[in-house]
Amino acid sequence: MKIAVNGVGIPPHSVTESLTLAPSPWYQFPAHQGFASEVDVMSNLVGSLSEGYGPRIGLTENSLALMERNRGSGEQWDMGETKPNVEALERGGLYFSCFDMLFTEDAAWLVKLSEASPTLALPMARMESREEPEQCPVIDSQEQGLSPELERQVEERSLEQVQSMVVGEVLKDIETACKLLNITPDPMEWNTGNVQKWLLWTEHLYRLPHAGKAFQELTGKDLCAMSEEEFRQRSPQCGDTLHAHLDIWKSAAWMKERCSLGDSKTTGSEELWSEADSSCSGQPIHLWQFLRELLLKPHNYGRCIRWLNKEKGIFKIEDSAHVARLWGLRKNRPAMNYDKLSRSIRQYYKKGIIRKPDVSQRLVYQFVHPV
DNA sequence: GAAAAGGACATAT
DNA sequence: ATATGTCCTTTTC
């Protein structure tokens, strides 16, 4: 089942890069008709996961149906709830509220994947036909009466590619969540605090009612051992959904384990998890490292912090409140704000880590030693 | 009014 | 002891 992640020509990374380079934000496109819906994509994902892992982790048709239910909310956040969330943040001062904003961007994968697939389908097909010149361009296949068998194969391969892309994206999003929450990807390793963080994250990501209390005192191990029914007992409204999401995390953790144990071939998914990751080094993350991490993930954070000149290490904080919240989340400092964050940045001046650029501009800083 | 700068003291590791 | 986190005053944009 490694194939779902590794077995295709296009590693998840390059897919992501091509997406990132798209001229306009591909995840903001309105839903297309006639292409895979996010439910379809999720079906493929969960389907492909269950193919290999189902027996072990017990992914069910039910999980699928639950994923489907998320669809409605996904459309909501994507299309224009960012602003209300920001307002809620500014006015609320509740620590919770910081998640909303976060999720609007970080969790958009459900939506963006579905909308990315049509965008990707064509370039992918083109790449294939370039590699195999004798094959007719896929785009024209209908007019030119391509043999049904060939067409089926092409279709199958596209599906595989989309599946692998989805899996790659899921792994990446889990990785991002882990960094943000400072938890391990494997639920089995979570302590009660980690479990609560994950719940908080997932609840806000999918607009679920708060159910943290129902799962208090539970470790990740406890959680993993619980059946869907037990989840429902603890949280009648969203226990099933939470269970389904935990399933995905469990699958991802298992895949990760398999990849690192298995063949030593460095493949897409392996890179995903072994990426130079300051959160794995044991030492607490430094603010400058954190900022750099955000900057290296423009498709997740490009709207709150971005490079003005990557070569020179000049970057701009576009949304100071958001960046501060992310930092607070990462460091477990609910009261973090830009005033404090910027004070910390200023401490870097004399250490020679960050400075103001030659032409000082508001919210613009410069790494003294660019990558 | 928000951001920048930097002092002073507190806190976590 | 280090790296912030917190709070605060003054200045600049």
Segments making up each domain of chain A, as ranges = 160-258, 287-367
3-class secondary-structure state, position A185: coil
- Go through chain A and tell me how many residues it has: 371
Closest nucleotide to the alpha carbon of A362, via C1': B3
Write out which nucleotides of chain C lie closer than 7 A to a protein Cβ: 3-8, 13
Report which residue type is found at A63.
S
* Pair A179, A250: CB distance under 8 Å: no
User: Which residue places its CA closest to the C1' of nucleotide B7?
Assistant: A343
Q: Distance (Å) from CA A286 to C1' C6?
A: 18
Distance CA A367, CA A311 (A): 10
Closest nucleotide to the alpha carbon of A351, via C1': C3
Instruction: Verify if strand B has an atom below 7 Å from the CB of A349.
Output: yes
Residues with CB under 7 A from strand C: A 286-288, 327, 331, 333, 335-336, 339-341, 343-344, 347, 351, 360, 362
3-class SS shares of chain A: helix, strand, coil, % to 5: 65, 5, 30
Instruction: Verify if strand B has an atom below 7 Å from the CB of A207.
Output: no
Report which residue type is found at A31.
A
Q: What kind of fold does domain A287-367 have according to CATH?
A: Arc Repressor Mutant, subunit A (1.10.10)
| H or E segment and range at residue A308 | strand A305-309
Q: Which residues of A50-80 are buried (b: 16+ CB within 10 A; e: fewer)?
A: bebbbeebebbeebbebbbebbebbbebbee
Instruction: Verify if strand B has an atom below 7 Å from the CB of A320.
Output: yes
User: Which residue places its CA closest to the C1' of nucleotide B11?
Assistant: A333
3-class secondary-structure state, position A245: helix
Instruction: Verify if strand B has an atom below 7 Å from the CB of A145.
Output: no
| H or E segment and range at residue A364 | strand A364-367
Write out which nucleotides of chain B lie closer than 7 A to a protein Cβ: 2-8, 13
The CATH number of the domain covering residues in A160-258: 1.10.150.50
3-class secondary-structure state, position A186: coil
**pLDDT score recorded for residue A152:** 63
Distance CA A294, CA A309 (A): 15
**Chain A 148-177 contacts with nucleic strand B (CB below 7 A):** none
3-class secondary-structure state, position A53: helix
What count of Cα atoms within 13 Å lies in the side-chain half-sphere of residue A302? 11
Class of residue A321 by CB neighbours under 10 A (exposed 0-12, middle 13-18, buried 19+): middle
Closest nucleotide to the alpha carbon of A328, via C1': C5
Structure tokens that stand for A340 in this block: 């404090």
**pLDDT score recorded for residue A337:** 96
**pLDDT score recorded for residue A309:** 95
**pLDDT score recorded for residue A158:** 66
pLDDT means per 10 residues, chain A with 371 residues, are 30 31 27 32 40 37 42 33 36 35 38 36 37 38 52 64 71 80 86 84 78 86 88 89 87 71 41 40 84 91 94 96 92 94 97 96 96 77
Distance CA A195, CA A222 (A): 10
**pLDDT score recorded for residue A110:** 36
**pLDDT score recorded for residue A28:** 26
* Pair A246, A180: CB distance under 8 Å: no
* Pair A59, A88: CB distance under 8 Å: no
